Amino acid sequence: MENREREIQNVLNSLPTQSLNAVNRLRQMGPPAVPALVVALKHPDPVIRAGAARALARMKEPGGAPALAAAADDPESSVRLAAVLALAEIPGLAAVRALAEALHARHGLVRDCAARALARRSLAALRAALCDPDPVARAAAAHGLGYYARDRVSIPRLRALLRDPSADVRRMAVRSLAWIAPRHAPALDALLEALQHEDEEIRAMAAQCLGRVGSPAAVDALVSSLRDPSKRVAEAAIRALGAEDAEAPGRRAGVGDGRALPALLALVRGGDPDLRAAALGALAHILAAEPDGPHDPATLSTLLTALADPDPRVRAAAAAAAGESRDPAAAAALIQALEDPAWSVRASAASALAILADPSAIPALEAARQDPDLAVARHAEQALQQIRSRRGA
């Protein structure tokens, strides 16, 4: 034993020059080297500190947990991350307690890694942290229970956190409920309740999250939110009913239910151009999702009126929605829109004509291939190819 202790001390003495080679030698020595690796966690060189944490992780020795807990707040990000990842691998209650303590860490990545580890190892510790006096820990625990665990047992407590004094905790509670909602209906009910929250930000977040969940059960509540006194909330509700997926351009997101059409059409006829443009985007989504569904008879006339709107954003969105309507009666107005002064409207009209595939649009699209804007010319070319391929078929 005396020889082994001398060998460990020799390795420690070599740390400044041998660096990670010394750390690896300590790891190979097994449990007797744990105290030496704990010392290495305080070495001036952050590379050695991170290496010591990784070595303790591979050894899975519970004796290293307290020192790793301290290292989770190291000034260097690489050391912090190595320490918390090591704690995730070390068995025993001491490591679980250290991970729970890491939920208080100053650094977001450390808290996230700790929450992920606890979601796998101790849901009880995460649930307990929802009542922690520190809002940072409460938010981290909510994230872990929602994103990593999808924990239905925590739904009542997460619902209560919607009234938390901390805005960060309230926001995280909304997100967590949204992650759980696709699997567990009570979380969806909590999100619907959040649409009535006194905090405008929470109402907007709840609407946004309901769009991601995409449950038809949210349609009536989202339609009611279109009349919210906050424009921010109303816009979030519109996009929740139907919009382009912000994380995957070209892909639709939202509930996409035809029951929302009358309320959206009313917004298109309203006075706010931002809401008109957003509502038309949602209409396009719903019409695309339900091409054969029952549509409001006023849909096409409203869309054609919007094609003459003074705001080019509204005209472009109206053109897209008119295409998704699949109504042949929209072709003439879309052909005329190919001469709109705004390139975005011309491009949108060309794409809409591709969907309608009306041969009467071919001459106008031929001319649009020479449009000075390359995007318009490209959309016109694509529309021509699509119309001709359908005619050939």
- Condensed to tens digits (0 to 9), the pLDDT of residues 360-371 reads 999 999 999 999
Quick check: 1 pLDDT over 80? no
- Condensed to tens digits (0 to 9), the pLDDT of residues 172-191 reads 999 999 999 999 999 999 99
Residues 325-353 have a mean pLDDT of 96
Quick check: 6 pLDDT over 80? no
Of 121, 142, 174, which residue is a domain's last? 121
Q: Indicate if 336 and 319 belong to the same structural domain.
A: no
| CATH at 383 | 1.25.10.10
What is the four-CA torsion angle of 126, 128, 133, 135, rounded to 10 degrees? 30
Of 288, 303, 326, which residue is a domain's last? 326
- Condensed to tens digits (0 to 9), the pLDDT of residues 101-110 reads 999 998 898 9
Is 252 contained in some domain? Answer: yes
Q: Tell me what pLDDT residue 17 has.
A: 47
Q: Indicate if 4 and 70 belong to the same structural domain.
A: yes
Q: Indicate if 349 and 375 belong to the same structural domain.
A: yes
Q: Indicate if 38 and 90 belong to the same structural domain.
A: yes
Q: Indicate if 314 and 257 belong to the same structural domain.
A: yes
- Condensed to tens digits (0 to 9), the pLDDT of residues 118-176 reads 999 999 999 999 999 999 999 999 999 999 999 999 999 999 999 999 999 999 999 99
Q: Indicate if 48 and 95 belong to the same structural domain.
A: yes
Is 206 contained in some domain? Answer: no
Which token pair is 318? 């109206």
Is 199 contained in some domain? Answer: no
Provide the mean pLDDT of the chain.
90
Percent of the chain whose pLDDT exceeds 70: 90
Q: Indicate if 38 and 136 belong to the same structural domain.
A: no
Is 201 contained in some domain? Answer: no
Indicate the pLDDT class of residue 20, thresholds 50, 70 and 90: low
Q: Indicate if 224 and 184 belong to the same structural domain.
A: no
Quick check: 113 pLDDT over 60? yes
Indicate the pLDDT class of residue 393, thresholds 50, 70 and 90: very low
Quick check: 290 pLDDT over 80? no
Q: Indicate if 5 and 112 belong to the same structural domain.
A: yes
Q: Tell me what pLDDT residue 58 has.
A: 87
Residues 223-251 have a mean pLDDT of 85
Q: Tell me what pLDDT residue 328 has.
A: 92
Is 51 contained in some domain? Answer: yes
- Write the CA distances from 218 to 2, 116, 212, integer angstroms: 71, 30, 11
Q: In whole angstroms, what is the distance from residue 181 CA to residue 238 CA?
A: 20
The total domain count for the chain is 4
Q: Tell me what pLDDT residue 392 has.
A: 63
- Condensed to tens digits (0 to 9), the pLDDT of residues 50-89 reads 888 988 888 888 888 999 999 988 999 889 999 999 999 9
63-80 in b/e form (b: 16+ CB < 10 A) is bbbebbbebbbbeeeebb
**Which residue(s) pair with 253 in the sheet?**
243
Q: Tell me what pLDDT residue 106 has.
A: 87
Is 203 contained in some domain? Answer: no
Task: Name the residue range of residue 13's domain.
Answer: 1-121
Which token pair is 127? 């649930």
**pTM metric for this prediction:** 0.84
Of 297, 326, 355, which residue is a domain's last? 326
Percent of the chain whose pLDDT exceeds 90: 70
Q: In whole angstroms, what is the distance from residue 71 CA to residue 288 CA?
A: 53
Residues 379-390 have a mean pLDDT of 93
Residues 280-302 have a mean pLDDT of 83
Count of beta carbons in the 10 Å neighbourhood of residue 31: 11
Is 200 contained in some domain? Answer: no
45-54, 88-97, 216-225, 325-334: least confidently modelled range: 45-54
Q: In whole angstroms, what is the distance from residue 30 CA to residue 257 CA?
A: 62
Q: Indicate if 3 and 116 belong to the same structural domain.
A: yes
Q: Tell me what pLDDT residue 302 has.
A: 95
Quick check: 10 pLDDT over 70? no
Q: Indicate if 73 and 138 belong to the same structural domain.
A: no
Q: Tell me what pLDDT residue 4 has.
A: 57
Bigger pLDDT: 391 vs 131: 131
Count of beta carbons in the 10 Å neighbourhood of residue 367: 12
Q: Indicate if 190 and 242 belong to the same structural domain.
A: no
Which token pair is 60? 């899975």
